[in-house]
Amino acid sequence: MPATIVVGTQWGDEGKGRVIDNLAEQSQMVVRFQGGNNAGHTIVNEAGEFKFHLIPSGILYPHVTAMIGNGVVIDPRVLCQEIDALKARGYDCGNLRISSNAHLIMPYHILLDSAHETQLGKRKIGTTRRGIGPAYTDKAARLGIRVQDLTDKKILRQKLDTAIGEKNDLLEKVYNSPGVDPFEVMEQYAHFADELASYIADTSLLIDKALKRGEKVLFEGAQGTMLDIDHGTYPFVTSSNPIAGAACVGAGVGPTAIDEVIGVCKAYTTRVGEGPFPTELDGALGDHFVNRGAEYGTTTGRKRRCGWLDLVVLKYAVRLNGLTGLAITKLDVLSNLDQINFCSMYEYEHDGACENFTDFPPHQSMFYHCRPVYQTLPGWKEDISGARKLSELPPEARDYLKLISEEAGVPVRIVSVGPGRDETVEM
Ligand code: GDP
Ligand code: IMO
Ligand code: MG
């Protein structure tokens, strides 16, 4: 697995951080390639729990170089806080590198994200309000400010002056809310520049050199396939491409460098924010997943919407990402259920006719109106969190894994049965 991409196959929070942490033990480099601090990746090891929003999940291993690629949008305040928090826990972050081409989230991006959500009212997307959408908008509009601009205060001031006038007009005149003070922003960002200067690097070149030395490089996706701006449940998506193809763009490597793509799939489904979710469960069963799986957002603390595994979504993710392997997480959360439902296709009623979809529907309106068709497997009652070998799982749990692998047409490479680093079943 010299170059392996790890992506979410659902709506995010599949357990990508813990899977990266497992794989990073045998790797030399971990690269985040998109998203920003909308992400929240959790790792639990002997030192306790770590929640990363921008810092790549490999940082805890001193032998791993942890890179923030050019495709990420960076809020320097959050990054500085994360670095300080890690330092306070004894990690010096000397193994962190930040792409000079990555774009910065500015204070006005955060204000615009919130103002826009508030204005949308009932039609809101349910963003994390971290400024992600407005930062990617400015990148595409060529109004963005990049990490390298921090290294030249004159350029930083020029770019800030260009951007801030327009943003303050937007905030004050369109959204009726206060703008930002350019002098204050300049002062804050000059401070972040000093804090971050030593980490800035040509990350694409470093990755290329590592691959040429035959080292193992992991590309860490944030969010998930169904939040992809092109292929997800638009407009209820994020503003980047969390799918595997984006790893090449967001890290600066060619597609021929990639050897494997691992899709992380929760044994059930969760979603934070608004938007369609066919297998969503209300009531006691939904609460079972929330409580057993501790399903509260890592970034915003919002309660996650929960439902059964959706194989139509999983097969879509296999196709879009070219998955070569699956990591099934949180299998332990399904213990103690009489039966396990999984959605094998959708029914779509329209003009008195009923159409079945085993592939993801081509139109959002269809997806909105699709009803899940469930199949069932028997559940298991045992606590499986102590299982470390496939043979230590109850036959019902093994059957469920077999079914997922067969339906997806992709082998299961990793199974996790608890949040801890060692709570992994050897495949
Ligand atoms: P990510 O955004 O994909 O990295 O996932 P999050 O960290 O946001 O959410 C996953 C949550 O599930 C975290 O709280 C993890 O500690 C926890 N977790 C990961 N794997 C397992 C598992 O196998 N079992 C249980 N019970 N919890 C897990
Ligand atoms: P990780 O990497 C789950 C969701 C938000 C919202 C939508 C758009 O931890 O899996 P944004 O702030 O990106 O403009 O919000 O995307 N979202 C996530 N949901 N996990 C994430 O990241 C997410 N990042 C964004 O809740 O619905
Ligand atoms: Mg998360």
Across the range 179-201, mean pLDDT stands at 96
pLDDT band at 315 (very low <50, low <70, confident <90, very high): very high
What does the mean pLDDT of the chain come to? Answer: 96
**Residue 363: per-residue pLDDT:** 93
**Residue 299: per-residue pLDDT:** 83
Candidate of 7, 18, 336, 388 to mutate for ligand 1, largest count of ligand atoms within 8 Å of Cβ = 18
CA distances from 139 to 83, 101, 238, 330, 421 (A): 25, 11, 15, 36, 37
**Atom of ligand 2 minimally distant from the CA of 127:** 15
Q: Radius of gyration of the chain from Cα atoms?
A: 22
**Atom of ligand 1 minimally distant from the CA of 43:** 16
Residue whose Cα lies nearest atom 25 of ligand 2: it is 38
84 classed as catalytic: no
Measuring from each residue's beta carbon to the nearest atom of ligand 2, which residues come in under 6 Å? Answer: 8, 11-13, 38-41, 125-128, 130, 132-133, 222-224, 227, 238-239, 272-273, 298
Candidate of 272, 296, 329 to mutate for ligand 2, largest count of ligand atoms within 8 Å of Cβ = 272
Residue whose Cα lies nearest atom 17 of ligand 1: it is 419
- From the candidates 41, 53, 109, 116, give the one annotated as an active-site residue: 41
**Residue 7: per-residue pLDDT:** 98
Shortest-distance ligand to the CA of residue 224:
2
Residue whose Cα lies nearest atom 3 of ligand 2: it is 12
Locate CATH 3.90.170.10 in the chain. Answer: 265-426
**Atom of ligand 2 minimally distant from the CA of 299:** 9
Candidate CATH numbers 3.40.630.30, 3.40.50.720, 3.90.170.10, 3.30.2010.30; the one for domain 265-426: 3.90.170.10
CATH architecture of 3-99+200-263: 3-Layer(aba) Sandwich (3.40)
What are the backbone dihedrals phi and psi of residue 76, each rounded to the nearest 5 degrees, phi first?
Answer: -65, -25
Locate CATH 3.40.440.10 in the chain. Answer: 3-99+200-263
109 classed as catalytic: no
Candidate of 7, 13, 55 to mutate for ligand 1, largest count of ligand atoms within 8 Å of Cβ = 13
Query: By mean pLDDT, which of 81-90, 155-164, 309-318 is the weakest?
Result: 155-164
Report pLDDT digits (tens) over 12-25: 999 999 999 999 99
**Residue 100: per-residue pLDDT:** 98
Report pLDDT digits (tens) over 394-423: 999 999 999 999 999 999 999 999 999 999
pLDDT band at 298 (very low <50, low <70, confident <90, very high): confident
**Atom of ligand 1 minimally distant from the CA of 8:** 3
pLDDT band at 426 (very low <50, low <70, confident <90, very high): confident
Residue whose Cα lies nearest atom 10 of ligand 1: it is 15
Report pLDDT digits (tens) over 247-259: 999 999 999 999 9
CA of 321 to the centre of ligand 3 (A): 19
pLDDT band at 136 (very low <50, low <70, confident <90, very high): very high
Locate CATH 1.10.300.10 in the chain. Answer: 103-196
**Atom of ligand 1 minimally distant from the CA of 417:** 23
Measuring from each residue's beta carbon to the nearest atom of ligand 1, which residues come in under 6 Å? Answer: 8, 12-18, 40-42, 44, 293-294, 298, 329-330, 332-333, 416-419
CA of 302 to the centre of ligand 3 (A): 11
**Residue 385: per-residue pLDDT:** 97
The answer on pLDDT for 1 being more than 80 is no
The answer on pLDDT for 144 being more than 90 is yes
**Residue 300: per-residue pLDDT:** 86
- The answer to whether 227 touches 124, Cβ cutoff 8 Å, is no
- From the candidates 13, 21, 113, 310, give the one annotated as an active-site residue: 13
Candidate CATH numbers 3.90.1150.180, 3.40.50.1820, 1.10.300.10, 3.90.550.10; the one for domain 103-196: 1.10.300.10
Query: What's the 3-state SS for the chain?
Result: CCEEEEEECCCCCCCHHHHHHHHHCCCCEEEECCCCCCCCEEEEECCEEEEECCCCCCCCCCCCEEEECCCCEECHHHHHHHHHHHHHCCCCCCCEEEECCCEECCHHHHHHHHHHHHHHHHHCCCCCCCCHHHHHHHHHCCCCCEHHHHHCHHHHHHHHHHHHHHHHHHHHHHCCCCCCCHHHHHHHHHHHHHHHHHHEECHHHHHHHHHHCCCCEEEECCCCHHHCCCCCCCCCCCCCCCCCHHHHHHHCCCHHHCCEEEEEEECCEEECCCCCCCCECCHHHHHHHHHHCCCECCCCCCECEEECEEHHHHHHHHHHHCCCEEEEECHHHHCCCCEEEEEEEEEEEECCEEEEECCCCCCHHHHHHCEEEEEEEECCCCCCCCCCEHHHCCHHHHHHHHHHHHHHCCCEEEEECCCECCCEEEC
Residue whose Cα lies nearest atom 25 of ligand 1: it is 418
Report pLDDT digits (tens) over 72-127: 999 999 999 999 999 999 999 999 999 999 999 999 999 999 999 999 999 999 99
Percent with pLDDT over 90 in the chain: 96
